[in-house]
C-alpha cells in the first residue's frame, strides 16, 4: 500500500528487503508494485551482479525504512552493517525516515526508545507508530503509522528541503526581562517582543529550527517555534546559553535589564515618610557579549536601540559583543521602536551599512533574515 501510494505520487521507488521481510511479503509483489526488481543481497545470486549500497545511497533523495523493526532500528543506531538495508543506510546522503512497527512492549522498551532517540539526534525522522491492535493480538502503541501518514511525512520532508534555512538551528531572544523588587513590584522596560517574535516566525518559515527565549510579552507563539519562557535576565542568560550550545546562530533581540536589585524583598516593601528610598542595583550578565565571546563560527546578530550618537554606539557594540551584524533602531525615527507594528532600522556590519525604509515589523524581519541567509551561505 505504501509502495503503491509513493509510486502513484510520482516517486521512483527502489525496494530493498531484508531476509526477514521476505517472509512477510513476496519479492514478486514488491517488485510489481514498485515496478523495479527488489534488492535483498549484496550480490545477485543468479548472475553475481554487485548491488552497490554506495550508489543506492547516492541515488536516493529519501531513504525510508518501513516497517522498521526493533532489530533494524538497533542495528541502524549502532552502525551494524550485515545486510543491504543497513549498508545502504550507512552510505545514505539523503534524509532518512523510519516508521517503527513492533509489539507494544518492544516499542516501549528502554533499549528501543534509546535507539530511536539516538537516531533522531542524528537527524533520522521518526514516523511515530499508531496505537491499536498489533500482530501479536495485543493492543497498544507499535503498529506502523498509516501509509498515508508516512507519505505525508515524506512530502513534508521534501517541502522542507526546499527551504533555505532547513537544518539550521537558531536562538532568538525577545521581549522584556523582569527584575523583581518585592513580590508585587519589578523593574522592566517597554519592549513588546514584536520584533523578536516576527524574526522567530520568519526564521521558522524558512525552515530553521528556532528556540525563542522569551521575556514577558502578550504575543502568541509563532507556528513551528519552540518557546522557552523566562522572567529575569539571569533566567534568560541560562536558557540562551543552553540553546546556543546546539545552534548555528542567535539573534539577540531581547531588551535585557542591565541592572537588577541586589536583594529581592520576601514581602511587600512598605512606604515610609522618612526621606527617599534608595534601591541598590547590581549589573546583570551581558548575554550577547558572552555568546559573542564563545561563538566560534556561529552567526550572532545584535540589536541596538539608541537615542543619540546612534551609529557610533552601534558600531561599538558590534565590535565589543562580536556580532556579525547589528540592527540599529533609533528612537528618534518616527515609527521605530517599542510598541508599534512598524520599524525603521539600519543594518550595520564591518563592510558598511544598509538603511531600510519604514516597514512593518514582519517585513523588517524578512529583510534581516535575508541578511542572515546571505551570511550563512557565504
Ligand atoms: N543584550 C544582552 N544581554 C544584556 C544586555 C544586552 O544579550 N544583558 C543584547 C541585546 O539583546 C542587544 C544588545 O545586547 O542585542 C544590546 O546591547 P546593549 O546596547 O549593551 O544593551 P543596552 O542595555 O541598551 O546597553 P547600553 O546601556 O550600553 O546602551
Report the nearest atom of ligand 1 relative to the CA of 254.
11
Q: What CA–CA distance (Å, rounded) separates 342 from 356?
A: 12
Residue whose Cα lies nearest atom 21 of ligand 1: it is 304
161 Cβ contact list (under 8 Å, min separation 6): 95
pLDDT at site 290: 97
pLDDT of residue 136: 79
Q: How far is the CA of 204 from the centre of ligand 1 (A)?
A: 24
**Per-residue model confidence (pLDDT) at position 321:** 98
Using CA atoms, how far apart are residues 342 and 344, in angstroms rounded to an integer? Answer: 7
Which ranges of the chain does DSSP label H, i.e. alpha helix? 2-8, 21-24, 27-34, 53-59, 70-78, 84-91, 104-108, 110-121, 147-161, 194-205, 233-244, 287-293, 310-320, 361-376
Q: What pLDDT sits at residue 133? A: 84
Q: Whose alpha carbon is nearest atom 9 of ligand 1?
A: 288
pLDDT per residue of the chain (378 residues) written in tens, 0 to 9: 899 999 999 999 999 999 999 888 999 999 999 998 888 877 666 666 666 766 787 889 999 999 999 999 999 999 999 999 999 999 898 999 999 999 999 999 999 999 999 999 888 999 999 998 878 788 889 999 999 999 999 998 888 778 899 889 999 999 999 999 999 999 999 999 999 999 999 999 999 999 999 999 999 999 889 999 999 999 999 999 999 999 999 999 999 999 999 999 999 999 999 999 999 999 999 999 999 999 999 999 999 998 889 999 999 999 999 999 999 987 777 776 666 788 899 999 999 999 999 999 999 999 999 999 999 876
pLDDT at 51 (0 to 100): 65
Residue minimizing CA distance to atom 29 of ligand 1 = 306
- Indicate the helix (H) or strand (E) that contains 328: strand 325-330
Index of the ligand 1 atom closest to the CA of residue 306: 29
Ligand 1, pocket residues at CB < 6 Å: 173, 233, 252-254, 256, 258, 284, 286-288, 302-305, 317
Site to probe by mutation for ligand 1, drawn from 286, 310, 322, 347 as the one with most ligand atoms within 8 Å of Cβ, is 286
Pick the residue whose CA is nearest to atom 23 on ligand 1: 258
Find out whether 312 and 334 touch, Cβ atoms under 8 Å. Answer: no
Atom of ligand 1 nearest to the CA of 284: 8
Q: DSSP string covering 2-62, please?
A: HHHHHHHTT-----B--TTHHHHS-HHHHHHHHTS--B-SSB-TTT--B--HHHHHHH-S-
User: What separation in Å is there between the alpha carbon of 253 and the centre of ligand 1?
Assistant: 9
**Of 191, 256, 324, 347, which is best to mutate to test ligand 1, by the most ligand atoms within 8 angstroms of its C-beta?**
256
Residues 6 or more apart whose CB falls under 8 angstroms from that of 248 comprise 168, 169, 170, 298, 299, 376
What is the predicted pLDDT for the residue at 53?
Answer: 65
- pLDDT at site 158: 87
Q: CA of 72: how far to CAs of 79, 119, 120, 159, 221, in Å?
A: 10, 12, 15, 27, 38
pLDDT at 307: 85
Contact 214, 175 (CB under 8 A): yes
Report the distance separating Cα 319 and Cα 64, nearest Å: 47
**Beta bridge partners of residue 260, listed in sequence order:** 282
Q: Cell 556580532 appears where? A: 323
Give dist(CA 72, CA 116) in Å, integer.
Answer: 11
CA distance 225 to 228: 10
Nearest-CA residue for ligand 1 atom 14 is: 288
- Residue 15 has a pLDDT of 94
Q: How far apart are CA 1 and CA 19, in angstroms?
A: 20
Distance from Cα 304 to the centre of ligand 1, integer Å: 7
Residue nearest to atom 18 of ligand 1 (CA): 304
What integer pLDDT is reported at residue 140 of this predicted model? 87
Q: Please, are residues 92 and 58 in contact by the beta-carbon 8 Å criterion? A: no
Distance 51 CA to ligand 1 centre (A): 59
- How large is the C-alpha radius of gyration of the chain? 27
Residues contacting 256, CB < 8 A, separation 6+ = 173, 177, 215, 233, 236, 284, 286, 287
Q: Which of 189, 288, 305, 324 to mutate to test the pocket of ligand 1 (most atoms within 8 A of CB)?
A: 288
Whether the Cβ atoms of residue 241 and residue 291 lie closer than 8 Å to each other = yes
Which residue in the list 83, 115, 189, 329 is annotated as catalytic? 189
- Give the number of the atom of ligand 1 that is nearest the alpha carbon of residue 323: 15
Ligand 1 atom nearest to CA at 291: 7
- Strand 130-133 and strand 299-306: the pairing is unpaired
Catalytic status, residue 189: yes
Asked, as a colleague might, if the bond just before 138 is cis with ω within 30 of 0, I would say: no
Amino acid at each position: 500500500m505504501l509502495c503503491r501510494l509513493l509510486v502513484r505520487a510520482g516517486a521512483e521507488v527502489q525496494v530493498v528487503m531484508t531476509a526477514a521481510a521476505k517472509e512477510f511479503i513476496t519479492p514478486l509483489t514488491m517488485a510489481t508494485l514498485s515496478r523495479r526488481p527488489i534488492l535483498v543481497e549484496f550480490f545477485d545470486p543468479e548472475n553475481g551482479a554487485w548491488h552497490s549500497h554506495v550508489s543506492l545511497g547516492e541515488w536516493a533523495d529519501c531513504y525510508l525504512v518501513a516497517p522498521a523493526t526493533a532489530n533494524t532500528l538497533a542495528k541502524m543506531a549502532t552502525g551494524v552493517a550485515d545486510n543491504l538495508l543497513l549498508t545502504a543506510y550507512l552510505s545514505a546522503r539523503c534524509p532518512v525516515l523510519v516508521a517503527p512497527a513492533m509489539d507494544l512492549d518492544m516499542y516501549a522498551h528502554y533499549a528501543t526508545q534509546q535507539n530511536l532517540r539516538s537516531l533522531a539526534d542524528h537527524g533520522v525522522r521518526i514516523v511515530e507508530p499508531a496505537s491499536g491492535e498489533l500482530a501479536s493480538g495485543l493492543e497498544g502503541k507499535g503498529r506502523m503509522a498509516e501509509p498515508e501518514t508516512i507519505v505525508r511525512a515524506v512530502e513534508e520532508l521534501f517541502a522542507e528541503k526546499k527551504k533555505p534555512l532547513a537544518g539550521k538551528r537558531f536562538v532568538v531572544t525577545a521581549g522584556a526581562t523582569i527584575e523583581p523588587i518585592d513580590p508585587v513590584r519589578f523593574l522592566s522596560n517597554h519592549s513588546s517582543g514584536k520584533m523578536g517574535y516576527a524574526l522567530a516566525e520568519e526564521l521558522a518559515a524558512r525552515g530553521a529550527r528556532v528556540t525563542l527565549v522569551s521575556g514577558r510579552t502578550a504575543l502568541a507563539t509563532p507556528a513551528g517555534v519552540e518557546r522557552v519562557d523566562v522572567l529575569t535576565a539571569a533566567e534568560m542568560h541560562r536558557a540562551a546559553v543552553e540553546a546556543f550550545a546546539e545552534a548555528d546562530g542567535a539573534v539577540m533581540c531581547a531588551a535585557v535589564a542591565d541592572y537588577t536589585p541586589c536583594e529581592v524583598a520576601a514581602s511587600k516593601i512598605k512606604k515610609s515618610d522618612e526621606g527617599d528610598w534608595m534601591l541598590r542595583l547590581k549589573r546583570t550578565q551581558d548575554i550577547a557579549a558572552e555568546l559573542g565571546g564563545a561563538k566560534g563560527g556561529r552567526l550572532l546578530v545584535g540589536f541596538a536601540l539608541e537615542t543619540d550618537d546612534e551609529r557610533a554606539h552601534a558600531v561599538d557594540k558590534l565590535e565589543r559583543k562580536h556580532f556579525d551584524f547589528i540592527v540599529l533602531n533609533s528612537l528618534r525615527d518616527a515609527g521605530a521602536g517599542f510598541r508599534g507594528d512598524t520599524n525603521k532600522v539600519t543594518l550595520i556590519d564591518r563592510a558598511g551599512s544598509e538603511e531600510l525604509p519604514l516597514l512593518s515589523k514582519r517585513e523588517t524581519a524578512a529583510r534581516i533574515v535575508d541578511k542572515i541567509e546571505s551570511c550563512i551561505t557565504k
